[in-house]
Structure formats: structure tokens, C-alpha cells
Amino acid sequence: MKLTEMKEWKALEAHSAKAGKARLRDLFAADPKRAEKFTVEAAGIYFDYSKQRVGAGTMNMLCDLAEASGLRGKIEAMFSGEKINVTEGRAVLHTALRAPKGTVVKVDGEDVVPQVHEVLDRMEAFSRKVRAGEWKGHTGKAIKNIVNIGIGGSDLGPVMAYEALKNYSQRGLTFRFVSNIDGTDFAEAVQDLDPAETLFIVASKTFTTLETMTNAQTAKDWALAALKDPAAIAKHFVALSTNAAKVAGFGIDTANMFGFWDWVGGRYSMFSAIGLSTMIAIGPENFRAMLAGAREMDEHYRTAPFDVNLPALMGLLNVWNNNFLGAASIAVLPYEQYLKRFPAYLQQMTMESNGKRVTIDGQAVDYQTSQVYWGEPGTNGQHSFYQLIHQGTKLIPCDFIAFSKAAHSLGRHHDLLMANVFAQAEALAFGKTADELKQEGVKDWLIPHKTFEGNRPSTTMLLDELTPAALGRLVALYEHSVFTQGMIWQIGPFDQWGVELGKVLAGRIAPELEGKAEPELKHDASTNALIRRYRARK
Ligand code: G6Q
């Protein structure tokens, strides 16, 4: 049934006309137990959504919508390997990547869990060799530098996880990540590296992606220019891919290939072989701890009732803010420097998944789908864009993420960091009234400028410590929140047709830029002019 015609949706619409105007100041004043009532703790995450603009009625209605949308059955369909990615005819089983040995998850009648563990074990053996200095380069020198070449899902997860868990990484190894087709990315990544000590991990599910294949070829040329002998490739290149034929065609021995499967979406692949750089950095034990953390969240999502189910709650709150309070974007604000790439990672996971304008049946939607995700680590953002969140004209719900234990105990730093995250959520929710300013003796003409309206919603997630397990839980939390939203909006979160057109057009334009002869241009007038100007001046 069309979402907007469902009685549960209509009930929320009617409810939002009044409840949407409720003020957090009043809600907190009216109920001393509010913080307690709207906080859920599960899988190591203390999830306080009491500063969201919801009441018990709102939450009941949202949970009713989830039930009526068949979310429970859809979760089961995903976990059990049904081909829910219908436009590509694929199962969606990133959860199987963290399934324990002995679990059975079948795709086309075949249990995929043994394959998952076979690859994990091979990754482990390889990682141990590199970490121990036993994987030697062509000249006999140990590998010291690891360069991951990949883009999108084959880059954002690895680089985010490396940065997030740097404190767990083997510091004697250097890690670099090359993604952009812009030659600067490669040039800067290798400018101070010795080819004899450098290992390239070519990460590409398809092994056909223009950026990655171009960078991989450049890496090969760079390595061979120094090492001369083509036999060096076997020591300095490994591949992470589903496409053995293409890997072999590129010149990488498939013995040095770590596989995965078409049921792992690119943006959901950081726990698969795509995580090899992460495993080399943090070690197999920590990598497995990260998997275990994600698994904990998987089990929670699969079994907990929606009203105490973190990914379901997070997803439903976003639906409320997006569709009923009109919040077009959401700021993800980790108060943890190591999570500096987490917002960028989430941008792909959320927006590539749920940035869709038709339902799974191909009908145009008449409601908003994915919010725009963005963010920066605290406290940096406070000195830049928070002004708009506090006093601007747009409603921007915030996800605050913080940790009780400091990664580095240095003087007052952590207490001050935490004071700031708590203060921001408080200021956003409760603001500062004209009366309060008056009492402080603020001059009348300044009062409008200094008033904080408040009533800006946020969720605060408090975890104990940024461990590999905690990162696994956080990533799985957002993955399943994305799924929750996609299922409510009746869209398909697991394809990404929207990235295709630009690729096709770039393929058409590239020879027009590279050719010697003046090309016959058949684009629009603007594109033709840009191409001509570039050709004349390059
Ligand atoms: C992710 C997308 C996309 C993909 C890249 C890289 O869900 O599909 O970001 O990860 O285009 O693709 P390859 O891994 O095939 O090179």
C-alpha cells in the first residue's frame, strides 16, 4: 500500500500538526522521568533521545508504522539471504560477514558462512606475515608501507576504520589511501615511499572501476620503474575483489586475491576482504573484535522489540524529523577525533542507499526520502557551522557521539571535550529566552541577537570507549537505521543507479579531451564550450 495512504502514516500526520509544535522545555518540565523514559541502552550504547521532539504517543505511532510496514519480516528476509536487492537480483548479506562459524545462511541453497571464514582466515595469515615483517618485497626488504587503492565503498570504510582505530594500529607500518582519479592523490600518497617496501592493495569489487584501475596501473608503473622486474608484482600487489578473471588480467596472481561476493554491497563491505588494510593495521584479534561488535548490534536489531531497538529507533526518529518536522539534513557530530572520517563514511552509506525517488515497485514517491548527512568532529564544528544549527532558520537534528573514556588522558582535555558535547545538546534543546537575557542585564536591542530559540532536536550516544568492538557496533547501528528508513519509505537501499549516467558521459568525453584532432562535439552548448576551452589551454 502507498505509504501516504497507510492509516499509520495518516495518524502521524495528524499527530504532528500538534505534537510537532511541542517544546522540549515544556516536555522536560512536565515529566521529570523524561530522560529515563527516552533512553535505551543496548549493545554497549547508551542512546538518549529524550532531546528529540517526540512524546510517548509519537513513539508508539512510529513503532506502529514500522509494524504496518512489515519491518520485522523485512529484517528477517535480509538476514536470511532473500534477494531483497531486486533491481540487481542480489541478496544483501553484510550481516553474514560477521556471522559466527557454524551459523547457516544460504544463498541459492549454499551456506555462505564457511566461505566467509575461509577468507577471514586467509586474511589473518597474510596480515600476520605483513605485521611480523615476514612478507618481503622483491628486493628482500620487509613491507613497511601499505597503500589501499579503491574508491567509494572500497575506500571510505577502510580509511574511516583505519583512522578510527589508529590507536590500535601497528605504528611501524604506514598506511595510505588512494581513491581519486586526480593524479595528485596518488602522487602525494607515494611521494615519500620506497617502492621496495610498499605493498599495494587494489580494492575493487568489480575490478573495472575507472579510478581504481587507473590508479592501480599508475602504481604498477611506479613500482616497476624502481623494481624493474615484472616478477615484483606478486610481492607488491594484492587484490580484494569478486572478479578473479579481471584480477588475473591485471597481472595479479589470484593466489594473492582475497575474495568476496555479490551479496556484499560496496558501501557495506568494510567487514569483508575490503577490510584487509584494517586487519593489517589493527591485527586479526582486533578485527575479529570489531566483527563481534557488529554482530552484537545485528542480534539486537533482529530480536529486540522496536521500542527498545536502537537501529529501529534511530531510523524512526529520522523519519519523524524528515517527514513530519521537515528536517532535510542531519548533522553527525562525533566528539572523538579518531572518528573524523565517520561522517564522510556515513554520507555514502546513508545517501547512496536511501537517496531514491521511486519505490521498489518503480512508483514516484510523494514524500521525502534520505536526509542529507554531514558533520565534523567536535569541538571544531562549534567554531564554524554550529551557529546555523543554533540560530539559523533550518531545523538540523544532530547525532552526538561521545565516549566516557579518553583515548589519551591528557590533563583536562577529556572532561572539557565532554563538557562541550553535553553543553551543545543542552543549548540546542533548551536555548536561552529573552527573559533570561533581560535578567542578565542584556540591553534590549541586543536581546533578539542573543536569544536562542532552542527546541533543536538531538540524540546523544554515549559509549564507554572507542574500541574495535565499539566501532563495529556503531557502524552496524547506522547500517540498520538506514535499512529501517528504506523499508518505511518503500525504496530499495541497496542499488545505486544514480551514479551511472555521469560515468557513461565521462567515458564519452575522455577521448574528446585526449584526441589530437579537433573532435566533433555533440553535447549541449555549455559542455561543448567547456571542452573547447580546456583543449585550448591544457
Ligand atoms: C557502493 C558503490 C560504490 C562502489 C565503488 C567502487 O555501494 O557501489 O561506491 O563501492 O564504485 O566499486 P568497486 O569496488 O567495484 O571498484
The one-letter amino acid code at 263 reads W
CA distance 478 to 316: 12
Q: Is 206 in the pocket of ligand 1 (CB under 6 A)?
A: yes
119: its cell numbers: 577468507
Tens of pLDDT, residue by residue, the chain (538 residues):
999 999 999 999 999 999 989 999 999 999 999 999 999 999 999 999 999 999 999 999 999 999 999 999 999 999 999 999 999 999 999 999 999 999 999 999 999 999 999 999 999 999 999 999 999 999 999 999 999 999 999 999 999 999 999 999 999 999 999 999 999 999 999 999 999 999 999 999 999 999 999 999 999 999 999 999 999 999 999 999 999 999 999 999 999 999 999 999 999 999 999 999 999 999 999 999 999 999 999 999 999 999 999 999 999 999 999 999 999 999 999 999 999 999 999 999 999 999 999 999 999 999 999 999 999 999 999 999 999 999 999 999 999 999 999 999 999 999 999 999 999 999 999 999 999 999 999 999 999 999 999 999 999 999 999 999 999 999 999 999 999 999 999 999 999 999 999 999 999 999 999 999 999 999 999 999 999 999 999 9
Backbone angles phi, psi at 357, to 5 degrees: -115, 0
Coil/strand/helix, residue 329: strand
Q: Is 134 among the catalytic positions? A: no
The one-letter amino acid code at 400 reads F
Backbone torsion region of residue 78, taken as left when φ is above 0, otherwise alpha when ψ lies between -120 and 50, otherwise beta: alpha
CA distance 361 to 380: 43
Burial 281-304 (b: 16+ CB within 10 A, else e): bbbbebbbbbbebbbbbbebbbeb
Coil/strand/helix, residue 147: strand
Helix, strand, coil abundance in the chain, percent, nearest 5: 55, 10, 35
Nearest CA among 411, 415, 412, 386 for reference residue 400 = 386
The catalytically annotated residue of 383, 443, 449, 516 is 383
Q: Is 158 in the pocket of ligand 1 (CB under 6 A)?
A: no
Strand order in the sheet with 39-42: 39-42, 45-48, 458-463, 398-403, 329-334, 372-374
Q: Is 266 in the pocket of ligand 1 (CB under 6 A)?
A: yes
Portion of the chain with pLDDT greater than 70, in percent: 100
Residue 274 CA: which ligand 1 atom is closest? 14
Q: Are 107 and 262 in contact (CB under 8 A)?
A: no
Q: Is 205 in the pocket of ligand 1 (CB under 6 A)?
A: yes
Residue 211 CA: which ligand 1 atom is closest? 16
The catalytically annotated residue of 8, 163, 296, 352 is 352
CA distance 186 to 220: 12
Portion of the chain with pLDDT greater than 90, in percent: 100
CA distance 430 to 53: 12
- Residue in 206, 354, 503, 504 to alter for ligand 1 test, most ligand atoms within 8 A of Cβ: 206
| Residue 526 vs residues 85, 507, 513: alpha-carbon distances, Å | 37, 18, 15
Measure 74 CA to ligand 1 centroid, in angstroms.
24
Number of C-beta neighbours around residue 438 at 10 A: 12
Task: Render pLDDT for 69-99 as a digit per residue (tens, 0 to 9).
Answer: 999 999 999 999 999 999 999 999 999 999 9
**Residue nearest ligand 1's atom 9 by CA:** 152
203: its cell numbers: 580494492
pLDDT of residue 281: 98
Q: Is 166 among the catalytic positions? A: no
CA distance 239 to 200: 8
**Residue nearest ligand 1's atom 1 by CA:** 266
Q: Is 209 in the pocket of ligand 1 (CB under 6 A)?
A: yes
Q: Is 490 in the pocket of ligand 1 (CB under 6 A)?
A: no
Sequence-ordered list of residues with C-beta below 8 angstroms from that of 537, at least 6 positions apart, any chain:
none
Measure 234 CA to ligand 1 centroid, in angstroms.
25
Q: Is 136 among the catalytic positions? A: no
